[in-house]
Amino acid sequence: MVYEENVRVFLKRDLGIFAIHAGRHKKDLVAEHLDQLTIFNVDVPKIKYAEKLTTCVGKAIAACTDKSRKILTSVYLLDHLNRIAMKEIGYGQSRYWELKQIALDEFMDNFAKYQKQIGLEPAFKLVK
């Protein structure tokens, strides 16, 4: 069975919950820290699923282009406001929102690829 989930809702709200279940913080999924993620040796399906899911998210963001990765990391992993991310990246409002849409599309494609690669079950499809 495949569940559908809005990508923004997933990244803003649900990712934090899965990170907690995996014993992680969203900040741990930043590309520089991705190699240092700890995997717990437990037989609890909820924790294993959360670990796989958060690893999948981290890899999907890391696989994005530089501009997309900066936006996704700033807004969804570091919980910055859009206007702060806009200033950090250095784009005007209209260009930023355009790039954010591209970043979300890129993330959704990468997430689907890594979800299959990792074997994440039950699977879900991220939609806009």
Render pLDDT for 81-115 as a digit per residue (tens, 0 to 9).
999 999 988 989 999 999 999 999 999 999 999 99
Taking every pair of Cα atoms in the chain, the longest distance, rounded to a whole number of angstroms, is 48
Q: Both tokens of residue 106?
A: 């890129």
Q: What is the pLDDT of residue 124?
A: 76
pLDDT of residue 98: 96
Q: What is the mean pLDDT of the chain?
A: 87
Question: What residues form DSSP beta bridges with 4?
Answer: 125
- Residue 24 is predicted with a pLDDT of 87
Q: Which regions in the chain score pLDDT beneath 50?
A: none
